[in-house]
Structure 1
Amino acid sequence: MVTSATKRPVVLIVEDEFLLRTDAAEMIGNSGFDIVEAHNADEAIAVLEARPDIHVVFTDIQMPGSMDGVKLARFVRGRWPPIKIVATSGFVNVGTDDLPEGSRFLSKPYRADQIVAALRELTAAA
C-alpha cells in the first residue's frame, strides 16, 4: 500500500523531441520521481486536467502547437498555482521576468544533477 508519506513526486515532462523527452524521463525517473510525458502544451494541459497529482511541469521552451513553454508555464501557474515549473531551452535565453515567480530555468544541455537538484528543491515541501 502506498501512503501519501511514501508517494513519489510526479513530474510532467513536456518535450517535443522524442529522444530528449525519453532521456529526461529516464534521468528524472531514476532520481526518485514518477514521470508523465507530453509531446506539446496541448497534451500537457490534457494530462493536467486528468491528473491532480502532478507536482512539477518540466517543459521545453520551443515547441510546436498552440503555445510555447513560456506560455504553458504562465497558463499552468494561472490555473494550477501549486504546480512548480522548470523550463529549459538550448536556443532561447529566458529572463527572470519571462517565467512565473518561483520557476526555474535550465539551459540545454543540462546535467542530471542540475535537474535533480531543482526538482528536489521545488518538491521538498510537497
Structure 2
Amino acid sequence: MLIVEDEFLIRMDTRASLEAAGFDVLEAGHADEAIAILSARSDIRLIFTDVNMPGSMDGLKLAHFVRERWPPIKIVATSGRARIPASDLPEGAHFVPKPYSAAEITATFHELVQG
C-alpha cells in the first residue's frame, strides 16, 4: 500500500495505524514521489491519496494517472476540504472524508484488498 499525503504528521499517523492492522505501507509526500515509487515497484496493490497536495499534480490527477497506467491498483482518495463526488474519481475509486478513523480506513482497505 502507498500513502500519498503532504502533511507529515497525518502521513505518519496513518502509516502507523495501517501497519498495526497488518498492512505493508510505503509513503510519498507528493504525486511525483508516488509515481516514482509505483514505477519502481510491482507489488503495490492500493494507493491512499490526499486530494489537495502541492506539486505537479493533485491527488485527483494522480488517481486518474494511476488508473490509466496501473489499472489493477485500488484507489482511495481523501480530503478534509471538499467532498469529492464519485463522478470526479476514476472508475472503481473510493472517497473517504477527513477526519477519518483508523478503524474506518482499515476496514475500507481490507475490503478492497480482499474483495
User: How high is the TM-score relative to the length of structure 2?
Assistant: 0.98
Instruction: Say yes or no: does 1:60 pair with 2:50.
Output: yes
| Corresponding residue number in structure 1 for 2:108 | 118
Instruction: Say yes or no: does 1:40 pair with 2:30.
Output: yes
Higher helix share: 2
Q: What SS class does the counterpart of residue 86 from structure 2 fall into?
A: coil
1:27-106 aligned within 5 A: 27-106=17-96
| Corresponding residue number in structure 2 for 1:13 | 3
Identity of aligned residues (%): 59
C-alpha distance in 2, partners of 1:65/1:85? Answer: 19
- Bigger mean CA deviation after superposition, 100-109 or 39-48: 100-109
C-alpha distance in 2, partners of 1:43/1:31? Answer: 24
Deviation at 1:114, TM superposition (A): 1.0
C-alpha distance in 2, partners of 1:99/1:122? Answer: 16
Task: Answer with 1 or 2: which has the greater Rg.
Answer: 1
Query: What is the CA deviation profile of residues 9-51 of structure 1, one whole-angstrom value per residue up to 9, with x for unaligned ones?
Result: xx10000000000000001111110000000000000000001
In the comparison of the two structures, how many residue pairs are matched? 115
Partner AA of 1:20 in structure 2: I
In structure 2, list runs of 5 or more residues that go unmatched: none
**CA-based RMSD:** 0.7
**Runs of 4+ in structure 1 displaced over 6 angstroms?**
none
Deviation at 1:102, TM superposition (A): 1.4
Counterpart pick for 1:23 among 9, 13, 34: 13
C-alpha distance in 2, partners of 1:103/1:122? Answer: 10
